[in-house]
Structure 1
Amino acid sequence: MTDRAQLSLPAVEAGVGVLLVLAVVATFALPVADGDTTEAQLDTYASDAATVLAGEPPRHGGATRLSEVARSEASFERERAALERRVERILPDNLLYRVETPHGSVGYRVPAGVSVGVATVPTGHGEVTIRVWYV
């Protein structure tokens, strides 16, 4: 019979414990790559606003509120103030916006160098684009 060396069980347990503690410490000590969720959140805000506006009935004529403002320059001018008030009520206070139709825009100019969320809604009279960004 040959003698074999055996590793004691407490030594194995201590080694596994040390590895476990090091893994936990490394998890908290190492920086985690922060994904850029700003644009995704802004796209969600823009999409939500577009969905609400696309589902609302028109005030005077057309299939939806967005198709009404995209119909003609006269209908856009008539509905401009109401559209602006409605978008301001839909979006959170920490966002600015711009709604672009084939016949004009409401809201603010998009500043350079900021993250912008975008949603586009096709209507029978052209596309309506909503852009949002943080103040």
Structure 2
Amino acid sequence: MPRAQLPLSLVEVALGATLILGVALGFALATPAPDTRGPQLTAYAEDTATILQTDPARHNGTTRLGEVLASQRTFDRERANLERRVERILPANVRFAVRTPYGSVGTAVPRRTATGTATVRTGSGPVRIEVWYT
């Protein structure tokens, strides 16, 4: 009885295709996605700091941050406005805490949560902005 044999070139093509497919799947399935949460959160915090440094003040001719940090009295008066402004700057799924020498606005930072931070140096002291995803 004659036996059928596959041509050798057909076997080589099948093995080559299997090898290429295996390598491609190895790269696709074994490579973890990069963590972009930290850098994105830091960008949100830095953008918020920049906007607060350049926003015009509501009552005097300085910036919003300059007005808020003029004294304890102005901080107390502008606290709610500062909080609303930061809420409008950030996306809805991002929470924040802004710490100034006169007090804080926002919510407390949860423990074991990835955050992004930015610090602004002012004449009244540092202002620290922390943001995180909800």
Aligned partner of 2:89 in structure 1 is 90
The DSSP-based 3-state class of the residue aligned with 1:111 is coil
Equivalent residue pairs, number: 127
Aligned partner of 1:26 in structure 2 is 26
Aligned partner of 1:101 in structure 2 is 100
Q: Which amino acid aligns with 1:84?
A: E
- Aligned equivalents of 2:60 and 2:101: distance in 1? 17
Aligned pairs (5 A) from 1:73-84 = 73-84=72-83
Shift of 1:16: 5.4
TM-score by length of 2: 0.80
Q: Which amino acid aligns with 1:112?
A: R
Deviations 1:20-70 (A, max 9, x none): 333223223x42123322111111111111111111011223631112212
Aligned pairs (5 A) from 1:47-126 = 47-61=46-60, 63-126=62-125
Please report the RMSD computed on the Cα atoms of aligned residues, expressed in angstroms: 2.3
- Aligned equivalents of 1:90 and 1:36: distance in 2? 23
The DSSP-based 3-state class of the residue aligned with 2:121 is strand
TM-score by length of 1: 0.80
The DSSP-based 3-state class of the residue aligned with 1:96 is strand
Q: Which amino acid aligns with 1:102?
A: P
Aligned partner of 2:3 in structure 1 is none
How has the CA–CA distance of structure 1 residues 25 and 109 changed in structure 2, closer, same or farther, with 3 Å as cutoff?
A: closer
Aligned partner of 1:6 in structure 2 is none
Percentage of identical aligned residues: 48
The runs of 5 or more residues in structure 1 that have no matched partner are 1-9
